Each structure stands twice: as structure tokens, then as C-alpha cells.
Amino acid sequence: MSGSLNLIPSGVLKVFKILKGDILSKEYINHLDGLSWPIVLSLMVRYETGSSIKETIRKLVEFAENSGISENPLYQMYFSSLKMIDERKRVETFEVELAFLLMKHLKPLIKYDNAEFDDIVVKFAEKLEKQEMVMEAAFVIEHLTDDRKAKDLLTKLLNGNVTKFGFLEDDSKLHEINQRLRIPLRLLHQARSVEFKNQKQYYKSTVELLVAEDIREAHKLLLAEVAPSVIIGNITSEIKRLRLLIEEFSTLSEFKIGAGVYGDYIDFVDLSNGINYEDEEYGEKQAELKKLYQSILSGMSSLQNYTPKVKIAKTIMIRRLLRVVFKEDLGCDREQVLRLELPESEKNYLEAKFDENLDNRMLTTN
């Protein structure tokens, strides 16, 4: 028999085995050599007889594991899904996955439109997420034909499962996900930002938004949480870190009435701490203090009260500013200061300070 087989062209033998339905057999000739698993599955569905779809899938998984195909990084996501079909307790839960795999890889044999396919993809991804199989869910979402819908669902999945994906503070994991699932880095950094914000780590959240090139959202978060918290806390290391971060927003048109207000204030405090009457450059430093003071006051009037802590930070800054203004005789507009949004008790305090300063001036001139 073996001698006779040598007379038969290999192509004919392969066709004979396929038509016979002997798809996974290596008898006579290995006709599957070089074929991808979707093609093998297609041949099994088309030509094997007497096997249910679930039995066909089981055979394919066994064949893939024995041949090493399932270890290929390109196919691992598919085979983790395929294997679930063979687990009886999960067949009912995951019957939508079979529709996904057949529609994806046996398209010539099944008629459906994009809307029908996308509906299956969404249902499958939702079930995978419920089983905490978030990597597989992301992989499935990537198959949506509607790009906008894919981005929205992927964003939602990432934002709600950062810790399960494991890339919150692991850059190597982040880049692995980017390379393996082809998820844009911007979406991954935005997801990090969301999770850091949920954890009230606002500085880290702002930095991630900057990395994601979402500078305006980063600016809002800086103004609402990061900058006022640092001013209230008054910790030197955090103030220095904030000053460096503020420079990232210098290109924004609203910089002078936003992050720039805090930057000028930090510079004002630094300069006032080092000023000395006997310094040769005292006059220049005094002029610079006055310039910074005017810039801060002008910008602060437009600084939005995103959170209650912004009002507290404003009050702290105004107190410090006026203490230096009175001490260094920089001069200020009483009405301009009192027009600022401040608690009534604070306005009363400032009015008293202005009156006290005026009385001192009168005593000095008399």
C-alpha cells in the first residue's frame, strides 16, 4: 500500500483526506502542515460528519495543544475562549462566544451583517468582563466594526478595571498590553488617570493626563485639586514639585488666570523670603514683588472655585500676599482686594488690616 501511495501526487492525497472528512489525521500525509487554525476549523465544519459543533471545537483545541499552535501569542486569546466551550458548566453562560468565533473565522459559510456581528461582540465582551477576563474582553472589543463604539467600550472597560489589568503603576505591563492588544497608549494613560483620581492621588492623575496629551483636563484637575491642596498643606517638597508641574501648562491661553496664578504665588513667596533691606538689589526685588503681586491679584479674580479647597487656598494666598505688601510697602488697591471672592469674616479682617496700615502711615507722617 505504501508503495502505491508514492505513485499518487501529494495534492490528490490531501484532497482525498479532506473530502473523506479525515481532517486531523496525519495518516498517509500531513495535509495540515502550514495551515492556520481558522482554516483547519473551517475544514472540520465543512467536511467532518457526525460531530456536533462543540465536539468539533473540542477536537480542534486538543489538536492545537498537541501541535503547539495554541501557544502562539497571536492565538492565545482565541484558544482561551475556545477552551471554555468544552467546559460543560460554562457552555450556557458563554454560548455567545461560539457565535463570535464562527462569525469571525467562518465568514464564507455564514451570512450576517456588521450590525449583527457587533451585537455578538458586545454581548461576548460583557460576559467576559463579568467573569473578570478583562484581557480577553479587550481583545474581543477590538473586533468591532464600529470604531467609535469600539473606542467607547474599550475606554469604559479600561477605566473600570485598571487594577485587574495590572498596569496602574507597572510600565512594563502597560507596554505589554499596548503591544499585545494594540490598545493606544493614550487610552491606557487616561485609564490610569481615572483610577488615580478615584484613589484621590490627584498629582499622579494629572501627570497621566499630560502623558495622554489631554492638557486641558489636566489643567482643570490641577486647579481643582492639586494646586490648592499643596498651598493648604504648605510642604516644601510638594511646593517645589508643583512649581515644576505648572510649567507644563505655560502654553495654554488661560495660563495667567489658571496655573500661572499659583506659579506666580510660589515665586512671590520665594522672593519675599530672601528679601533684605540691606541688599544692593533690594529695589529690583521690591519691584519684582510688586509685579508678581499685581499678576496674582489680577489672575485670582478669574480663578474658578472648582472645589471648596480652592476658596481656602485663595484666602491663604491673599493673607500671605498682603502681609508682604504691608511689610515691604508695595502699595495695593484696597477696593481691588475686597472685590475678591472671600468669606465675610476674611473681608472684615482685611478691612481692619487696611485701616491699621492707614493709621500707622498717619502716625508716621505726623
Has residue 2 got a pLDDT over 70?
no
Has residue 87 got a pLDDT over 80?
no
Per-position DSSP letters for 213-249, written without gaps between them: T-HHHHHHHIIIIIHHHHHHH--HHHHHHHHHHHGGG
- The more confidently predicted of residues 175 and 329 is 175
Best mean pLDDT range from 53-67, 101-115, 287-301: 287-301
Distance from C-alpha of 249 to C-alpha of 227, rounded to nearest angstrom: 13
Q: Which pLDDT score, from 0 to 100, does residue 90 have? A: 40
For the chain, what are the domain ranges?
7-89, 97-183, 200-332
Q: Please, what's the largest Cα pairwise distance for the chain?
A: 129
Average pLDDT over residues 187-200: 98
The answer to whether the pTM exceeds 0.75 is: no
Per-position DSSP letters for 95-135, written without gaps between them: HHHHHHHHHHH-GGGS---HHHHHHHHHHHHHHHHHTT-HH
Has residue 227 got a pLDDT over 90?
yes
Find the range with the poorest average confidence among 116-125, 174-183, 348-357: 348-357
Tell me the pLDDT band of 93, cut-offs 50, 70 and 90: very low
The answer to whether 186 touches 194, Cβ cutoff 8 Å, is no
Q: Which three cell numbers stand for residue 255?
A: 495660563
Tell me the pLDDT band of 359, cut-offs 50, 70 and 90: low
Q: Which pLDDT score, from 0 to 100, does residue 80 have? A: 63
Q: Which pLDDT score, from 0 to 100, does residue 58 have? A: 72
Has residue 50 got a pLDDT over 70?
no
Q: Which pLDDT score, from 0 to 100, does residue 255 have? A: 96
